[in-house]
Amino acid sequence: MKEGRRSFRVERGPRKDRAQSGRWKGNSPAGSQGTAMEGTGGDLGGQRNWGLEDAPDLLARASLTMLPWPLPLASSALTLLLGALTSLFLWYCYRLGSQDMQALGAGSQAGGVRGGPVGCSEAGGPSPRGPGEPGEGPRTEGLVSRRLRAYARRYSWAGMGRVRRAAQGGPGPGGGPGVLGIQRPGLLFLPDLPSAPFVPRDAQRHDVELLESSFPAILRDFGAVSWDFSGTTPPPRGWSPPLAPGCYQLLLYQAGRCQPSNCRRCPGAYRALRGLRSFMSANTFGNAGFSVLLPGARLEGRCGPTNARVRCHLGLKIPPGCELVVGGEPQCWAEGHCLLVDDSFLHTVAHNGSPEDGPRVVFIVDLWHPNVAGAERQALDFVFAPDP
């Protein structure tokens, strides 16, 4: 057993000599001279044998040769990298803020995002373009999208699915054809809203009952500001010029802005408006006031700017021969009662009575569509805020 074992001998020099020379020698192939490895403490290599007990010292010396660069240089490079990342982040924040200000500034310079050009409709407020006319095109759509992004950065995208699709899809048939092509809002089509030309009274029960209970006060206010509507003299203070033949209006709120002088002259109507829960008073789609249509006047088919609102008509003076057709469905007003209309449908209004019958007078208030959520209302108030 002893003869079959292999023996080996490890030659070990004095540690004192190794420490002084800093050189280690290993076996070289074919008796050639070993290659020296230079380290910070000396050279590794040579022509001597080494054993397992010498491995820690060998590894310690070899590891010093693998440092890529000195530690101070690495620290400086890391500092430069962190500084560059910080500068990039600050620049990105500046760009976001600049885009928000540019979007809001562009809306102010362009006159804001309006609910349609000023005109006369059966609602007595700013009237949209005709059903066959195009919207304001990519400029308005881009402004709406930019303002919506500014709102989302300030608040959140939560609950903005329909508003976001409306901003991206554009108005009218491009954003959604509506019902059989007769619902064509001129500016904003909010998808997935229940669509009907006439909305049930129960959808806005509180506001309807409040307006109907205020009917005597509102009628007195109209008597205080009324005139002969002959057209031979300029309209009195507060009344707009005839924007269409036989159509006059006095607005307490116009495109989301209160008209203080008219509100002071109509305290009962103003008090009723202040008590409404869903009055659209903070954006350019919102109007409230008196609408007068003289005998023989007729307003041909048109569509409102958005399906996000419902127009409430409170009948004040309704002579015979007056007619309202919305989405192909005829209706008529009744004195002291409210009629809820989705004016994004194609509609026509006419006064076919005789001159002796007198004008048709209704008090109009723009309310939110009952299926527009609170978060969506807040976002639309931000996007379509009145001009400062």
| Tally of domains in the chain | 1
Count Cβ atoms within 10 A of the Cβ of residue 83 and give its class: 0-12 exposed, 13-18 middle, 19 or more buried. exposed
The domain in which residue 241 lies consists of 201-384
Does 372 reside within a domain? yes
Q: Binning pLDDT at 50, 70 and 90, where does residue 50 land?
A: low
Q: Return the axis-axis angle of helices 161-169 and 374-383, rounded to nearest 10°.
A: 40
| pLDDT tens by residue, 269-304 | 999 999 999 999 999 999 999 999 999 998 888 899
Q: Compute the half-sphere exposure of residue 42: CA atoms within 13 Å on the CB side of its CA.
A: 15
8 A C-beta contact, residue 293 and residue 285: no
Over 90: is that where the pLDDT of 104 sits?
Answer: no
pLDDT at residue 132, rounded to an integer: 35
Does 266 reside within a domain? yes
Does 139 reside within a domain? no
| pLDDT tens by residue, 132-191 | 333 344 455 688 889 999 999 999 888 899 999 988 875 444 444 445 578 889 889 999
> What is the rounded distance in angstroms from the CA atom of residue 110 to the CA atom of residue 127?
19
Lowest mean pLDDT among 54-63, 89-98, 345-354: 54-63
> What is the rounded distance in angstroms from the CA atom of residue 171 to the CA atom of residue 190?
9
| pLDDT tens by residue, 230-243 | 767 788 888 988 77
pLDDT at residue 38, rounded to an integer: 42
Alpha-carbon distances, residue 126 vs 9, 143, 252, 314 (angstroms): 108, 20, 13, 18
pLDDT at residue 127, rounded to an integer: 43
Classify each residue of 15-32 as buried b or exposed e, where b means 16 or more C-beta atoms within 10 Å of its C-beta.
eeebeeeebbbbeeeeee
Over 50: is that where the pLDDT of 331 sits?
Answer: yes
8 A C-beta contact, residue 178 and residue 191: no
> What is the rounded distance in angstroms from the CA atom of residue 127 to the CA atom of residue 120?
5
Over 90: is that where the pLDDT of 222 sits?
Answer: yes
> What is the rounded distance in angstroms from the CA atom of residue 160 to the CA atom of residue 163?
5
Instruction: Round the average pLDDT of the chain to a whole number and report it.
Output: 76
pLDDT at residue 57, rounded to an integer: 67
Over 80: is that where the pLDDT of 130 sits?
Answer: no
8 A C-beta contact, residue 201 and residue 340: yes
> What is the rounded distance in angstroms from the CA atom of residue 297 to the CA atom of residue 245?
7
> What is the rounded distance in angstroms from the CA atom of residue 204 to the CA atom of residue 23?
97
Span between the terminal Cα atoms of the chain, in Å: 106
Does 210 reside within a domain? yes
pLDDT at residue 70, rounded to an integer: 60
Does 2 reside within a domain? no
Mean pLDDT of all residues in 368-382: 95
Q: Binning pLDDT at 50, 70 and 90, where does residue 35 land?
A: very low
| pLDDT tens by residue, 119-129 | 345 544 444 44
pLDDT at residue 362, rounded to an integer: 97
Q: Binning pLDDT at 50, 70 and 90, where does residue 210 land?
A: very high
8 A C-beta contact, residue 362 and residue 314: yes
8 A C-beta contact, residue 344 and residue 176: no
Mean pLDDT of all residues in 316-324: 94
One-character DSSP codes across 202-257: GGGHHHHHHHHHTHHHHHHHHHHH-----SSSPPPTTPPP-SBTTEEEEEEEETTE
Does 136 reside within a domain? no
Does 33 reside within a domain? no
Q: Binning pLDDT at 50, 70 and 90, where does residue 90 land?
A: confident
pLDDT at residue 144, rounded to an integer: 87
pLDDT at residue 36, rounded to an integer: 39
Residue 360 φ then ψ, to 5°: -90, 130
228: CATH? 2.60.120.330
If you count DSSP H runs as helices and E runs as strands, how many of each does the chain have, helices first? 11, 13
8 A C-beta contact, residue 297 and residue 351: yes
pLDDT at residue 97, rounded to an integer: 53
Mean pLDDT of all residues in 350-368: 94
Lowest mean pLDDT among 51-55, 224-228, 265-269: 51-55
Does 355 reside within a domain? yes
Closest CA to 269 of 281, 251, 254, 255: 251
Count Cβ atoms within 10 A of the Cβ of residue 171 and give its class: 0-12 exposed, 13-18 middle, 19 or more buried. buried
pLDDT at residue 19, rounded to an integer: 41
> What is the rounded distance in angstroms from the CA atom of residue 42 to the CA atom of residue 62?
10
